[in-house]
């Protein structure tokens, strides 16, 4: 994942890539794909909340 990130999205934070890898590793043998999807969605939402100011922050 880190090698792919270097060529596709070099500005993507290493921490996010590492967390994505750990999520995929954790759920790689699960038949329920919604588990990894939900975990990835939570990760992305948390990363966006840290980067994008909310309407509350603008006040």
- In this prediction, residues 17-38 reach a mean pLDDT of 94
- Residue 48's alpha-carbon distances to 16, 42, 45, in angstroms, are 11, 10, 5
> pLDDT (tens digit, 9 = 90+) per residue, 39-49?
999 999 999 89
CB of 1 within 8 A of CB of 17?
A: yes
Residue 43: per-residue pLDDT: 96
Domain positions in the chain are 2-52
Least confident span in 18-22, 29-33, 50-54, 55-59: 55-59
């Amino acid at each position: 994942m880190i090698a792919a990130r270097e060529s596709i999205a070099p500005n993507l934070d290493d921490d996010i890539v590492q967390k994505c890898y750990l999520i995929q590793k954790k759920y790689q043998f699960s038949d329920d794909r919604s588990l990894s999807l939900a975990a990835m969605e939570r990760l992305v939402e948390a990363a966006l909340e840290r980067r994008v100011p909310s309407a509350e922050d603008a006040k």
